Amino acid sequence: MHSLLKSDRFVPLKAELDNNRPAGSQDAHSQIVASQVLRRRGDVNAMQATSMKPFSYETFPNAGLVAYFSMEIAINPAMPTYSGGLGVLAGDTLRSAADLGVPLVAFSLVHRKGYFQQHLDPRGVQSEETQPWNPADFCTEEAARITVSIEDRTVTVRCWRYDLVGRYGHIVPIYLLDTDLDGNSGWDRGLTDHLYGGDTNYRLQQEIVLGMGGVRMANALGHRVNVYHMNEGHAALLTLALIERELGGGPLGAPTEADLALVRQRCVFTTHTPVPAGHDRFSLEQTIRILGGDRSARLERLGCYRDGMLNMTLLALKFSRYANAVAMQHAKVSRAMFPEFPIDSITNGVHSPPGSPSRSRRCWMKTCPPGGATISTCAAPSTSRRSMFFPLTPAPRSRFWPRSQPAPGTCSIPTF
């Protein structure tokens, strides 16, 4: 994690805050906000834990701010901003970052109508309905406004902030981008309504809001970002926004190798889906019409098209200094799909505290070191290279499944 926070070119945000911080530091402010949030939740144990922080990436002097981009994030079960594994993993990553004190902010779309709610009638016929929700019930609207260009239209974007509080008081802000604003057309107001809704035209327009809009929103909010982390290729257009920023803010001009190297130094990428259908692709006609002719021509010159299609995974890989798959076998498959790029493997993990049943949690705490483990540090101890981070005590089967009870056949849905 520490290596991904480094940047030789940019002054770390932590140092900037230290130089400009008034009396009563950010840490003190975070503790106050965290205590207020935890008090509202009635989480007394977590409130007590805020004074027992054993470790934090905040203490690393060279650590800079990471901006994490994901099309879906599982934040709260009452907020339908996720559909499945990608969003749950993103949410667990952010919870672990909050627990570890990682200097990180996250960007996604607000998805005002969610993914869908599935219903089955007595005959087994499926029907779906939207999941409308009000971000004002959970989030705070930011005053910042930015614009993006979609099909030669200027679309205004705002964001809603949700503060994710770690168990020791560190806050990871999550910004949900929203186009439902007066002044936007009816179509544009709905661009941030549906998670994975509509056709590929709708998807490309959403990805402009997430990638290019997210970079501009981070700037408008005053965040000095050292590293941009793309969780899957949906946000890959942020690399185009960074290239344009190196060129002065517009689509014209030709980037030099030095410009591209600066962008590459600031980006990392996680790929998830090891099949062709899982990688977003858009036709040349779509990109010219939606992104614009100049931007499409630039991406074509930079080699981001494959088989006549703009490939978002290829775009992300081309302009990232580090890329990882989410399992060792997945990395092998991904390297076969994109043999020109080195792709590492970091096995998926879970943020254990929220959804672990009490019996499993007790076993976990006995097996792992004090404080438990986060992210992906507790894969199979006998085979995983990640077991080197701490010793694991083998857990007897009976600790999970007493002889008097059969092994469970179902699992509960975690609450975040």
pLDDT of residue 7: 38
Residue limits of CATH 3.40.50.2000 in the chain: 2-109+137-345
The C-alpha torsion from 228 through 84 and 234 to 191, rounded to 10°, is: -110
pLDDT tens by residue, 30-42: 454 454 444 444 4
Task: State both tokens at 301.
Answer: 């010159």
336 φ, ψ (degrees, to nearest 5): -70, -35
CATH class of 2-109+137-345: alpha beta
* Per-chain mean pLDDT for the chain: 80
pLDDT of residue 10: 35
pLDDT of residue 231: 96
Q: Please state which of the ranges 65-74, 107-116, 326-335, 360-369 shows the lowest mean pLDDT.
A: 360-369
Residue 388 has what DSSP assignment? G
Answer with the residue of higher pLDDT: 52 or 318.
318
Average of pLDDT values for 352-360? Answer: 60
Residues paired with residue 318 on neighbouring β-strands, in sequence order:
none
pLDDT of residue 64: 74
pLDDT of residue 84: 86
pLDDT tens by residue, 247-283: 876 666 788 899 999 999 999 999 998 887 789 999 9
pLDDT tens by residue, 89-100: 999 999 999 999
What is the rounded distance in angstroms from the CA atom of residue 329 to the CA atom of residue 108? Answer: 28
Answer with the residue of higher pLDDT: 381 or 310.
310
Helix (H/G/I), strand (E/B), else coil: 71:
coil
pLDDT tens by residue, 319-355: 999 999 999 999 999 999 999 999 999 988 888 765 5
Helix (H/G/I), strand (E/B), else coil: 108:
strand
List the alpha helices (DSSP H) in 101-249.
186-189, 200-207, 213-220, 238-246
What is the rounded distance in angstroms from the CA atom of residue 147 to the CA atom of residue 157? Answer: 6
Residue 415 has what DSSP assignment? P
Residue 4, pLDDT above cutoff 80: no
* Residue keyed to tokens 């997210």: 214
